[in-house]
Amino acid sequence: MQRSTVAAVTGIGVVATCGLGKEAFWQGLLTEPADGDRRIADWDPSPWFENPKEVRRTDRFAQFAVAACDMALKESQLADSYEASRIATMVATGIGGIGTLEAQVVVQHTKGSRRVSPFLVPMMMGNSAGATLSMRHGFQGPCETIVTACAAGTHSIGRSLDLLRLGRCDVVIAGGAEASITPTALAGFGNMTALSKSGHSMPFDKNRDGFVIAEGAAILVLEDFEKAKARGANILGLITGSASTADAHHITAPSPQGEGAIRCAAEAIKDAGLQPSDIRQVNAHGTSTPLNDSAETKAMATLFGADGPPTTSIKGVTGHSFGAAGALEAASVLLSMEKKLIPPTLGTKEVDPGIAAAVDIVTEARPWEPGPTISNSFGFGGHNGTIVLEPAPAD
């Protein structure tokens, strides 16, 4: 395939419960997690903001995006390599500024309408993270927000690849951010029995009983491959294909046999100019819910057959951060290629026998020779997203 049809990754920024920055994040993926909600402990946004007023006027999920973006831009060393009008912003979220919304609803109820913050709307709206990045850095290309529940982070990277291929821009700041561990969100997810009652995230385990809610953000700097190469950028990896499909089945449950997931992964692989036999790793959505893990396993077994590639889920460590999940998982794949190590599916003690018989679940860190990898994300509403990532070329 012509390299002009792929995106070069030149910067990675991560804010996660297991570590701030990509190296701390990677080490966290190899460390047995604690139980319970995955919150960013002792979060201090001040290093990334000029003053406390700016912090107060930025919802927590957008604060995460600001920090991750700054990390990614620093690594990419974009400087003045591109016209501002040629730099796009595509930051996803599943829920947006729900923390601000909840707090201001309480203010309205207890203190009256006149005490509601005038910053309520700009802080709670889902596009506030992407808009904030665009304004902070002067990016004047397309600035859009994907909101497809738990598939949003992956969709943002896939749509960014589309923008580069269409020639609408030369660079896209892509990823996702989420901060939705609030009393009402916890109540809602708990009452729909989606959350783990045990407090354990254990993807593909025979005793899995739901996901563990999480927060975080990941931002990738994606560039037109030829332009990145011409400016001498350090290319960390490639995004070579993507796809998006819908189950059209149920608002929260996946299609039981994984039909939508099969089509999505197959189309992404085809989009990358590859065959299923070329895939060397699957980064699974792997939420630790009975229905998702079962459907995804059936889909991957159907697509790859009995000798499919090793499959891992990092949600045993990170928990499920909804719109940020796919971006965090893309970062983990790129680091897996750099380190030549597939991170384990931690939190999982005994793989469900039916799953183990169909898919090779990585339960201990596994050395590998990096090659084409797919990363799956599935969201409430029947949204499916898959991207294909490949190692940076040797030349």
SS3 state at 71: helix
Active site residue 285: yes
Which of 155, 200, 320, 383 is catalytic? The answer is: 320
- How many CB atoms neighbour CB 83 within 10 A? 12
Torsional class of 368: left (φ above 0), alpha (ψ -120 to 50), beta (otherwise): beta
Which of 143, 155, 264, 285 is catalytic? The answer is: 285
Contact between residue 231 and residue 352 where contact means Cβ atoms under 8 Å apart: no
DSSP 198-239: SS---TTBTT---B-BB-EEEEEEEEEHHHHHHTT----EEE
Amino acid sitting at position 204: F
Sequence-distant (6+) residues with CB within 8 A of 288 are 196, 200, 201, 202, 203, 204, 205, 208, 209, 210, 211, 212, 313, 315, 316, 320, 347
Question: For residues 331-349, b (16+ Cβ closer than 10 Å) or e, as one string?
Answer: bbbbbbbbbebbbbbbbbe
Whole-angstrom distance, CA of residue 261 vs CA of residue 267: 10
Sequence-distant (6+) residues with CB within 8 A of 351 are 204, 205, 206, 361, 363
* Structure tokens given for 251: 């608002």
Contact between residue 154 and residue 387 where contact means Cβ atoms under 8 Å apart: yes
| Structure confidence at residue 2 (pLDDT) | 47
Task: Map tokens 């406390």 to a residue.
Answer: 52
The helix-helix angle for 259-271 and 290-304 (nearest 10°) equals 50
Contact between residue 377 and residue 151 where contact means Cβ atoms under 8 Å apart: yes
For residue 88, the Cα-to-chain-centroid distance in whole angstroms is 18
Give phi and psi for 17, each to the nearest 5.
-65, -25
Give phi and psi for 112, each to the nearest 5.
105, 160
- How many CB atoms neighbour CB 305 within 10 A? 11
Which of 150, 155, 169, 383 is catalytic? The answer is: 150
Strand-pairing partners, residue 239, are 7, 389
* Structure tokens given for 363: 């339960």
* Structure tokens given for 36: 């319970």
| Structure confidence at residue 272 (pLDDT) | 97
What tens-digit pLDDT sequence spans the chain (395 residues)? 444 589 999 999 999 999 999 999 999 999 988 788 899 989 999 999 999 999 999 999 999 999 999 999 999 999 889 999 999 999 999 999 999 999 999 999 999 999 999 999 999 999 999 999 999 999 999 999 999 999 999 999 999 999 999 999 999 999 999 999 999 999 999 999 999 999 999 999 999 999 999 999 999 999 999 999 999 999 999 999 999 999 899 988 888 888 999 999 999 999 999 999 999 999 999 999 999 999 999 999 999 998 999 999 999 999 999 999 999 999 999 999 999 999 999 999 999 999 999 999 999 999 999 999 999 999 999 999 999 999 999 87
Active site residue 143: no
For residue 15, the Cα-to-chain-centroid distance in whole angstroms is 11
Task: Map tokens 């891992």 to a residue.
Answer: 312
Active site residue 137: no
Give phi and psi for 345, each to the nearest 5.
-85, 80
* Structure tokens given for 96: 């947006």
| Structure confidence at residue 257 (pLDDT) | 85
Task: Map tokens 């005490």 to a residue.
Answer: 115
Contact between residue 63 and residue 48 where contact means Cβ atoms under 8 Å apart: yes
Whole-angstrom distance, CA of residue 249 vs CA of residue 264: 15
What is the widest separation between alpha-carbon atoms in the chain?
63
Q: All domains of the chain, ordered by start, with CATH?
A: 7-390 (3.40.47.10)
For residue 216, the Cα-to-chain-centroid distance in whole angstroms is 9
